[in-house]
Amino acid sequence: MKHSPWRGAAVAVVAVVTVLPMLPVVLWAVAGAWRYPALLPPELSTRGLRLLLGDGVLAALGTSVLVSTSVALLACLVGLPAGRALGLHRFRGRRLVQFLLLAPIIVPPLAVTLGLQVFFIRYGLADTVAGVVLVQLVPTVPYAASLLAAAHADLDTDHEQAARVLGAGPVATLRHVSLPLLRPALVTAFLLTFLISWSEYVLTLLVGGGRVTTLPLLLFSAIESSDRTAAAALGLLVVAPPVLLVLALTRVAGRDVAWMGVSRA
Amino acid sequence: MSPRLRIALLLAPALLVVGVFVVGGVLQAVLQSLGFAPVVGESQWSLDAYRRVLADPAVHASLLLTARVSLISTAAAAVLGTALALLVRRLGGRRRLAVLFHGTLAVPHLVGALAIGLLLAPSGLLSRAAYRLGLVDSVQDVPALTQDAFGWGIIAEYTWKETFFVAVVALAALGRRVSDLEDVASTLGASRWQRLREVTLPVLAPPVAAASVLVLAFVTASYEVPRLLGRPYPTTLSVEAFQRYRDIDLTSRPEAMALAVLVALLTTLAALAYLRLVGGLARRSL
């Protein structure tokens, strides 16, 4: 089968079926009036794409970038030391720690956030960007920690020891030896957690109370309205960054990209 | 600094996040489902919320829908994803297709719900194609595939997205080692079918089972897809919990917490069942 002419056709079929569900989103985003039962839009329009330049969308884009960047940075800052402990050291209770760190993947974040919401309100974190960033650490830290633990397990600590022997302090060693060695994993962890945060809807809605308007919140209300063109255009704006990032990353990073699949966006 | 203290300090930030939010959150959900009213109001301890929830026909319908949607989607994704991985391996060109699969994985479920809605809705693309082919005469003839009682729209979205997740995991497991084992099997005279059943599928089973548990836990607990592609009634447990939490009537709060605890319990049970299964598999292979 490897060299038959059917092979190319079969690959094409798989590729088409893979992306087929996204086709209506693209079509509706650029469609003008498109009545049933026309199979393709009889006229194209830039109305949907122009809607993306409105103030509301640009503000939501800014909020989304702010929230997701903060979440990704914090998740990596929290995950890096935890990854070091888990990847480099064998200690009593290591399995328990690993289990705890994976708990947010099994226990739904929505359930835990419902229980905590009253405290977010009490401490003034409800309806704020800070509160939304904090709650989004729940679904992101496990991935950052696991990914960086795997990277540390592969880390050759001889380099660090050589630096220390040559007189470098702990900070200089971290900066000039460890971090450069861990850079691929750190980049992947940052992008992965950024993507999880970028796609997050229900936690943002619950803690942000509708005041912290990220792109997914706008998209959700657009889908509920009957304006398909507006919803499809917003959908393209929400889907483009993660897909482009992952496609770019698949080319540079190797094994770590498998983690992208594990993220439950 | 002692090594133990060092490790503890390294782990402290992550454990703080998980401890405060996850352990604390579950604990709070349990306490509040039992009548604990933090910050405001009087706590009145009782199992009333659970009694009300378990006697509520809306919750029964919700439980049924949640189980149906999550089990069908998970099974479909596991089977289709495994088949897709095997197909892609046979076809070759897996690098380029794997890139495409990863791209699909990165699509947020909210966008997935939009896409499936535009594809399957009565006036969606599929219905238009059916009209063009002469299969239906008007939009009224099209069977409801979104906002339907069975949950087909929800199942379609999850199956689409999660099939590629399972496929990516299975493809990662189908490395050189598996090809070597298969070669050995054919040298020993195994037929193609025997190779698949005795070599390939046993190698794929553990990673695909692990992926399926993640899918099951995710689908059972997720919110936006059933909220957009399902009916307001009956709806899945997570949506039901969220709606009761948002209810103006504050007596619904303990019921929301009871439902949240129920969802957490179901996903944890799925994970435990998996761990048992893996334990069983590991023992059998020894």
For the segment B193-212, what is each residue's pLDDT rounded down to a tens digit? 888 888 889 889 888 998 99
Q: By three-state DSSP, how is residue A181 classified?
A: helix
A143 in the same domain as A155: yes
pLDDT score at B283: 53
Structure-token match 């194609």, residue found: B129
Q: Would you give the DSSP letter of residue A31?
A: B
Residues of A in contact with B268 (CB under 8 A): 106-107
This complex has an ipTM of 0.89
Strand partners, B157: none
A18 in the same domain as A82: no
pLDDT score at A1: 47
Separation of alpha carbons B270 and B266, rounded Å: 6
Angle at which helices A179-199 and A55-88 pack, to 10 degrees? 140
Residues of B in contact with A136 (CB under 8 A): none
Separation of alpha carbons A107 and B138, rounded Å: 45
Encode pLDDT of B103-162 as tens digits. Answer: 888 899 999 999 999 999 988 999 999 998 988 888 888 888 888 989 999 999 999 999
Q: Minimal Cα–Cα distance from A36 to chain B, Å?
A: 6
User: Looking at per-residue confidence, does B192 or B39 come out higher?
Assistant: B192
What residue numbers bound the domain in which A51 lies? 46-262
Residues of A in contact with B40 (CB under 8 A): 118
User: Looking at per-residue confidence, does B186 or A71 come out higher?
Assistant: A71
**Six-digit token string for A207:** 């803690």
The candidate with the shortest Cα–Cα distance to B69, out of B153, B194, B179, B193, is B153
Q: Minimal Cα–Cα distance from B198 to chain A, Å?
A: 23
**Maximum Cα–Cα distance for chain B, whole Å?**
78
pLDDT score at A11: 84
**Six-digit token string for A213:** 């308007």
Residues of A in contact with B220 (CB under 8 A): 108
User: Apex CA B127: angle with CA B83 and CA A199, to 5°?
Assistant: 60
Separation of alpha carbons A189 and A141, rounded Å: 10
Q: Minimal Cα–Cα distance from B263 to chain A, Å?
A: 7
Res. B72: pLDDT tops 50: yes
Give me chain B's average pLDDT, please.
88
Separation of alpha carbons B278 and A47, rounded Å: 53
A53 in the same domain as A39: no
Q: How many domains does chain A have?
A: 2
A125 in the same domain as A190: yes
A80 in the same domain as A15: no
Residues of B in contact with A235 (CB under 8 A): 111, 114-115
Strand partners, A31: A44
Say yes or no for a CB contact (<8 Å) between B263 and A111. Answer: yes
Q: How many CB pairs under 8 A join A and B?
A: 282
E strand or H helix at B11, and its extent? Answer: helix B3-17
pLDDT score at B96: 79
Encode pLDDT of B146-179 as tens digits. Answer: 889 899 999 999 999 999 999 988 988 887 788 8
**Mean pLDDT confidence for B4-8:** 91
A114 in the same domain as A30: no
pLDDT score at A138: 92
User: Looking at per-residue confidence, does B41 or B194 come out higher?
Assistant: B194
Residue of A nearest to B107 (CA): A239
CATH topology of domain B31-285: MetI-like fold (1.10.3720)
**Mean pLDDT confidence for B218-233:** 92
Which of A1, A14, A261 has its CB closest to that of B102? A261
Say yes or no for a CB contact (<8 Å) between B118 and A28. Answer: yes
Say yes or no for a CB contact (<8 Å) between A141 and B17. Answer: yes
A64 in the same domain as A29: no
> Are B105 and B81 spatial neighbours (Cβ–Cβ below 8 Å)?
no
A59 in the same domain as A12: no
Say yes or no for a CB contact (<8 Å) between A85 and B10. Answer: yes
- What are the helix (H) ranges across B121-151? 125-132
A233 in the same domain as A144: yes
Residue of B nearest to A76 (CA): B14
Q: Where are the domains of chain B?
A: 31-285
A78 in the same domain as A21: no
Q: Kindly report the CATH number assigned to the domain that includes residue A145.
A: 1.10.3720.10
> Are B181 and B199 spatial neighbours (Cβ–Cβ below 8 Å)?
yes
A10 in the same domain as A94: no
- What is the number of other CB atoms lying within 10 angstroms of the CB of residue B33? 25
Q: What is the pLDDT along chain A (265 residues), one digit of tens a residue?
A: 445 777 888 888 888 888 899 999 999 999 888 888 888 898 899 998 999 999 899 999 999 999 999 999 999 999 999 999 999 988 888 888 988 888 888 888 888 899 899 889 989 999 999 999 999 999 999 999 988 998 888 888 888 888 888 888 888 888 888 888 888 889 889 988 999 999 999 999 999 998 999 999 999 999 999 889 999 999 999 999 888 888 777 766 554 555 554 444 4
> Are A206 and A114 spatial neighbours (Cβ–Cβ below 8 Å)?
yes
DSSP letters for B149-197: SS-HHHHHHHHHHHHHHHHHHHHHHSSHHHHHHHHHHHHTT--HHHHII
Task: State the Rg of chain B over Cα.
Answer: 23
pLDDT score at A251: 66
- What are the helix (H) ranges across chain A? 5-19, 23-30, 47-51, 55-88, 94-106, 109-122, 129-153, 158-165, 170-173, 179-199, 202-208, 215-224, 228-252, 258-262
- Does the CA dihedral B155-B115-A208-B232 come out positive or negative? negative
Residues of A in contact with B264 (CB under 8 A): 107-108, 111-112
Backbone angles phi, psi at A63, to 5 degrees: -60, -45
Say yes or no for a CB contact (<8 Å) between A250 and B217. Answer: no
Q: Minimal Cα–Cα distance from A250 to chain B, Å?
A: 6
A176 in the same domain as A106: yes
Single-letter amino acid, residue A190: F
The candidate with the shortest Cα–Cα distance to A110, out of B111, B226, B36, B157, is B226
